[in-house]
C-alpha cells in the first residue's frame, strides 16, 4: 500500500514538473511575441515607414508597385539634440528623394525629388530646369516625348523657393503632379528618406488608386495568386538614390 502511495506521489510530481515546464515554455513564447510586437511597433512608429509607389511619377527610378522602407529619422526636424547623436541627420540637398505630406492633399503622401532648395531661383524652359540662372544637369529624368511641350508642366517663369521649403518634382516629368502645380513643400511636411525597396510587384495605378472594399478584396486575391510570377525579384533590396 505504501509502495503504491509513493509511486502515485512520484507520478504527480512528474506531472506537476511537466506542467510547470510547459507553462514556462508558453510564457517564454508569449514574452518573445510581445517583445517582438513592441519592437516592430517602435520601429514602424519612430524609425521606419512602409510606402508603396502607386503611380509612374518617379519612373524609371521607382516603379508602380515598388514597396519602400522610409527612413523617418534622417530628415526629421522633431527629434532632440541628444537623439541626433544617436541617429545621424542629413541636410536636405538638391537631388535627394523625399517622402512628404502633399500640400495639395494633406491626407496623401508623395515621393518626389528635391530640385530647389530654400532661396533658389528656379525656372523651367522647354523641359529644362535652371537653378539660379544655370542649367541643372539631371541624369535621372524621364520623358515620354521630349518634343511635346505642355504649358505649365514644361515651362515655368522664374520662381524663388521660400525659406524652410523645397521645390520637389517627379523624375517622370511628363507624368508627375508636383511643385510645378501646387508650389513648394514646407520642411515640416517632409516625412523621411526612402531607403530601400523591400518588395516590388508588377502593377498598374488602377490597382492601387481604385476605391472600394470589393476592389481591395479582388486586388488582394490577384496579388496572392500572382505573387511569384509578378514579383520583381531583381528589385528586392534595391537602394534608392
Q: How far apart are CA 65 and CA 68, in angstroms?
A: 9
Pairing of strands 165-169, 185-186: antiparallel
Q: How far apart are CA 81 and CA 50, in angstroms?
A: 26
Nearest to 168 by CA among 75, 44, 77, 236: 75
Nearest to 191 by CA among 55, 67, 66, 47: 47
Residue 112 falls in the annotated catalytic set: yes
Residues paired with 66 in a beta bridge:
200
Q: Give the H/E segment covering residue 99.
A: strand 97-101
Note whether 186 and 168 are within 8 A (CB).
Answer: no
Nearest to 155 by CA among 112, 122, 114, 121: 122
Residue 203 falls in the annotated catalytic set: no
Q: How far apart are CA 5 and CA 224, in angstroms?
A: 60
Q: Which of 72, 74, 76, 112 is catalytic?
A: 112
Q: How far apart are CA 93 and CA 2, in angstroms?
A: 86
Active site residues: 57, 112
Amino acid at each position: 500500500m505504501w509502495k503504491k502511495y509513493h509511486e502515485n506521489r512520484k507520478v504527480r510530481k512528474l506531472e506537476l514538473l511537466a506542467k510547470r515546464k510547459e507553462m514556462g515554455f508558453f510564457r517564454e513564447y508569449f514574452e518573445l511575441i510581445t517583445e517582438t510586437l513592441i519592437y516592430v511597433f517602435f520601429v514602424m512608429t519612430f524609425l521606419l515607414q512602409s510606402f508603396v509607389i502607386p503611380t509612374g511619377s518617379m519612373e524609371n527610378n521607382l516603379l508602380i508597385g515598388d514597396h519602400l522602407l522610409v527612413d523617418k529619422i534622417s530628415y526629421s526636424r522633431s527629434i532632440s539634440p541628444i537623439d541626433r547623436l544617436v541617429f545621424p541627420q542629413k541636410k536636405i540637398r538638391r537631388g535627394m528623394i523625399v517622402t512628404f505630406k502633399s500640400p495639395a492633399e494633406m491626407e496623401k503622401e508623395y515621393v518626389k525629388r528635391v530640385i530647389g532648395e530654400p532661396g533658389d531661383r528656379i525656372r523651367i524652359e522647354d523641359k529644362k530646369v535652371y537653378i539660379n540662372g544655370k542649367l541643372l544637369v539631371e541624369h535621372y529624368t524621364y520623358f515620354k516625348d521630349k518634343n511635346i511641350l505642355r504649358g505649365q508642366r514644361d515651362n515655368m517663369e522664374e520662381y524663388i523657393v521660400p525659406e524652410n521649403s523645397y521645390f520637389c518634382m517627379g523624375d517622370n516629368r511628363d507624368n508627375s503632379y508636383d511643385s510645378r502645380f501646387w508650389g513648394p513643400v514646407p520642411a515640416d511636411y517632409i516625412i523621411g528618406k526612402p531607403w530601400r525597396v523591400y518588395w516590388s510587384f508588377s502593377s498598374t495605378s488602377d490597382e492601387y488608386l481604385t476605391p472600394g472594399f470589393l476592389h481591395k478584396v479582388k486586388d488582394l486575391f490577384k496579388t496572392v495568386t500572382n505573387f511569384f510570377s509578378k514579383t520583381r525579384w531583381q528589385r528586392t533590396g534595391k537602394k534608392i538614390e
